[in-house]
Structure 1
Amino acid sequence: MEIPEEYVDGFTEALAEVSQTGRRLTRDELDARRALGERAAEHGYSLRRVVAAHLSAACAAWPTLPGAASAATAREMSAVTAGLLEAVRQAVDAAGEGYDHAQRLAVRQEEAARREFVDDLLYGRSDLNRLAERAERFGLRLAHEHAAAVATGPEPYDDTHPVTRRVEQALVTRFGARRILLATKEGRLICVAPGSQDDMLVYFAEQARAATDGGRVAIGRAHPGPGGVVHSYEEALNALDLAERMPLTTPVLYAADLLVFPVLTRDRHAMADLVRTALGPLRDARGGAQPLLDTLWAYFDSGCVAAETARRLRLGVRTVTYRLDRIKTLTGSDPADPLHRYVLHTAVIGAKLLDWPAKEL
């Protein structure tokens, strides 16, 4: 695409004066070159075209420039040529500076627009219809189902962090640049993808864990509409929070697998009452309730196998057996009895969720 002559307006006139006087380009002339370079960038012309336009104009005007035409000796011609070449260099440099400034401004504006969109998308702000329109620009069709995944690591990440770039490059290489959004929020990596393409988020989880040296990833369920991304994102955040409090050791968490926990804590008063009733007597044990609570957690998590419980706690089997007998004596509930086991297991989960016994209920 050839660049119009208007982008070199005034250039040959300036060269004509330079050829006669040997002066450098004035500040006003350089400012004009910068302004035209900016305008060329804004209108989509390449920097190569801008440079080529100036060089072509200089070549076309060179034989007719007053100083070049009137040079009587080789020395005079050499001096005129040197002055003209310096003027061309100044002009091209100024045009390139203006072009680069426009490009940087466009990038900053694009980054600001993208950040604003991500904030509105993840917080559910802005008019939903308008949000859906803006999403098209970033490759998302919010009328369809989408799911969000959130990754954490040993340090906070932003859009320019090497980890972010590495994960983004892997996703673009595998799936292309459309229909998937990678961003950062509060130091976490965020990935939004169509709900019908589970492989995108699974691959994101693999790449994020590799890039963060074993970080944790949570994947929300797919939900339709502009508000569906917010819902899925909040599910993923809640899964990460739950994993910290329980604690859960699974490196990739699926919100769909953890739905029982919000159900258990929906009636907080009832859960607190269960914890106090079923586990409250453990406070009377020597050393407090925490060691016995940890034993119950490991016991249920290991399928109620005392030997595996001992291995996980790095204790002797006899110590674990003693603790289980002590729990039975204090609470009146036998962890080996199926009915008692269900009540105790639910109470232990509730204790983890409510941070008991560290916090009073």
Structure 2
Amino acid sequence: MADDIRPASRRPETAAEPEGRWLAEVAAGASRDAGGVDVQLLGEYLPMLADAAVHGRRPRREELDVVEALGRRAAEQGISAGRVVQLYLSAARRLWHDLPAVARSRDCEAVRVAATAVLQVVDDAVATLAEGYAVARRDLVRREETLRRELVDDLLRGDSDLGALVERAEPFGLDLARAHRVALAAPSRRLPDADAAISALEAVIFDRLGDRDVLVATKDGLLVVIAPADATTAQRVAPPPEPSGELGQLMHRELTRLPRGDTWRIAVGRAHPGLYGIARSYEEAREALSMAGRLQVTAPVVDAHDLLVYRVLLRDQPAIVDLVQAVLGPLVNARGGAQPLLDTLREYFDTGAVATESAKRLHVSVRTVTYRLDRVRRLTGYHPADPAHRFTLQAAVLGAKALNWPAQPLPASG
């Protein structure tokens, strides 16, 4: 069909110029157009285009299978879909422009047929390329999710081989020599779309912290965030006021914005250095999450540091049960039960033993507060205003709150 067709290229065709060199020049130009994408990703695409233009041949299935494999290779190499598609489209444009056998011809029908054949190849090849790319990307995402989940499980368990974990953590940008804190996010019902939640958290945390050393995953129906902390933080007696709270508030704000959002509770562990520090921070966050529920904490974000005293108290549960029973047990004999007296003691201690402020918080008169404190003294033998008695009473009040007494009976002490 193409004997009477002459090139439209401004570059004169010479009989001595090999076809392979010409196609190589087209491929090189297309690679430049696509930002330097490897010409090897074109495979036999250019000969397919030339064959379609000259002979009108459509690509065979096995040829398209090769194109699909090239799409998968591009995805595995981390090349963007836009750039690899641009490579193919630019190659087609350049080939048509410089095609030695097809260009400007008096036979319009011949040119139309050639153009139709070339466009069909472009359509089939690009669609197949994109399909291969998408399949590979899905496989890569699934593989990364599996690796991420397994890495998080091993990090939080804290008993895996350090050398192997360092190697596995490196692709995720996690530096196990740094200090990290772990935050857990629990929905009020079941975990919603985990992928959307992970993507949202990663984007906002990377943007805010300016650090790639963050890992977000799911575990046991919870969202888990492993985030870096100032290496000096773990050595301080008192933590800085912001970082852990900032992470928790950041997570809470982002999660509540999700479509079909839920009510979330966030617990943040303290910062600890090294691999085992991650496992320790996770255990603290998990205990804080559980304890916040038991203590009926209304705040959506809880910090493990703020609940340390309850962890200490419950470490020896038989002892704290015995303390509550021995010190506060007599309060059940008061008119109205133990709860009003316990509430008064709690506010009294929280306000630094200031009766007027306690009365404001309880919405009662100062006289009522002083009356209740006197009732405590008479029933228990401990005077809330006496420094020698105050520590025992306050420890017992905290223990009662941790055990949810008197709403629930005290566990058997032994």
Which category describes the TM-score, using the shorter chain as reference length? 0.7 to 0.9
Could you tell me whether the CA contact under 8 Å between 1:179 and 1:194 is conserved in 2?
A: no
Deviation at 1:285, TM superposition (A): 2.7
Deviation at 1:231, TM superposition (A): 0.5
For 1:95-152, what per-residue CA distance to the aligned partner results, in whole angstroms no more than 9, with x for missing partners? Answer: 1221222223222222322222122212225323211222222222223433334455
Aligned to 1:294: 343
CA gap of 1:132–1:249, structure 2 versus 1, over 3 A, is: same
Could you tell me whether the CA contact under 8 Å between 1:18 and 1:25 is conserved in 2?
A: no
Deviation at 1:335, TM superposition (A): 2.3
Deviation at 1:78, TM superposition (A): 1.4
1:124 corresponds to which letter in structure 2? G
C-alpha separation between the residues in 1 aligned to 2:73 and 2:312? 59
C-alpha separation between the residues in 1 aligned to 2:156 and 2:68? 40
1:272 corresponds to 2:321: yes
For 1:287-335, what per-residue CA distance to the aligned partner results, in whole angstroms no more than 9, with x for missing partners? Answer: 3323322222222222223332232233344443333333333223332
Aligned to 2:213: 179
Deviation at 1:171, TM superposition (A): 3.1
CA gap of 1:193–1:346, structure 2 versus 1, over 3 A, is: same
For 1:171-212, what per-residue CA distance to the aligned partner results, in whole angstroms no more than 9, with x for missing partners? Answer: 323443433334454334524214426565454234234435
50-59 or 223-232: bigger deviation: 50-59
Superposed counterparts of 1:166-245, under 5 Å: 166-185=200-219, 186-196=221-231, 201-211=244-254, 217-245=266-294
Query: What TM-score, normalized to structure 1?
Result: 0.81
Aligned to 2:376: 327
C-alpha separation between the residues in 1 aligned to 2:63 and 2:168? 40
1:56 corresponds to 2:91: yes
C-alpha separation between the residues in 1 aligned to 2:200 and 2:122? 41
CA gap of 1:81–1:258, structure 2 versus 1, over 3 A, is: closer
List gaps (5 residues or longer) in structure 2: 1-35, 234-241, 257-262
1:226 corresponds to which letter in structure 2? L
Superposed counterparts of 1:66-215, under 5 Å: 73-124=107-158, 126-151=160-185, 156=191, 159-161=194-196, 165-185=199-219, 186-196=221-231, 201-211=244-254
CA gap of 1:157–1:125, structure 2 versus 1, over 3 A, is: farther
CA RMSD, Structure 1 to Structure 2 (Å): 3.5
Q: Percent identity?
A: 44
Partner of 1:160, secondary structure, is helix
38-47 or 205-214: bigger deviation: 205-214
Q: How many residues align?
A: 357
Deviation at 1:59, TM superposition (A): 4.6
C-alpha separation between the residues in 2 aligned to 1:17 and 1:252? 64
C-alpha separation between the residues in 2 aligned to 1:301 and 1:258? 15
1:360 corresponds to which letter in structure 2? L
2:154 corresponds to which letter in structure 1? D
Could you tell me whether the CA contact under 8 Å between 1:122 and 1:229 is conserved in 2?
A: yes
For 1:78-103, what per-residue CA distance to the aligned partner results, in whole angstroms no more than 9, with x for missing partners? Answer: 13322321222211221122122222
Partner of 1:193, secondary structure, is strand
1:360 corresponds to 2:410: yes
Query: What TM-score, normalized to structure 2?
Result: 0.72
For 1:241-289, what per-residue CA distance to the aligned partner results, in whole angstroms no more than 9, with x for missing partners? Answer: 3344345577765544544333333332222111111111122233332
229-238 or 127-136: bigger deviation: 127-136
CA gap of 1:341–1:150, structure 2 versus 1, over 3 A, is: same
Could you tell me whether the CA contact under 8 Å between 1:18 and 1:24 is conserved in 2?
A: no
Aligned to 2:43: 8
CA gap of 1:241–1:108, structure 2 versus 1, over 3 A, is: same
Could you tell me whether the CA contact under 8 Å between 1:34 and 1:94 is conserved in 2?
A: yes
CA gap of 1:200–1:221, structure 2 versus 1, over 3 A, is: closer
Could you tell me whether the CA contact under 8 Å between 2:183 and 2:266 is conserved in 1?
A: yes
List gaps (5 residues or longer) in structure 1: none
Superposed counterparts of 1:242-261, under 5 Å: 242-246=291-295, 253-256=302-305, 258-261=307-310
C-alpha separation between the residues in 1 aligned to 2:77 and 2:328? 71
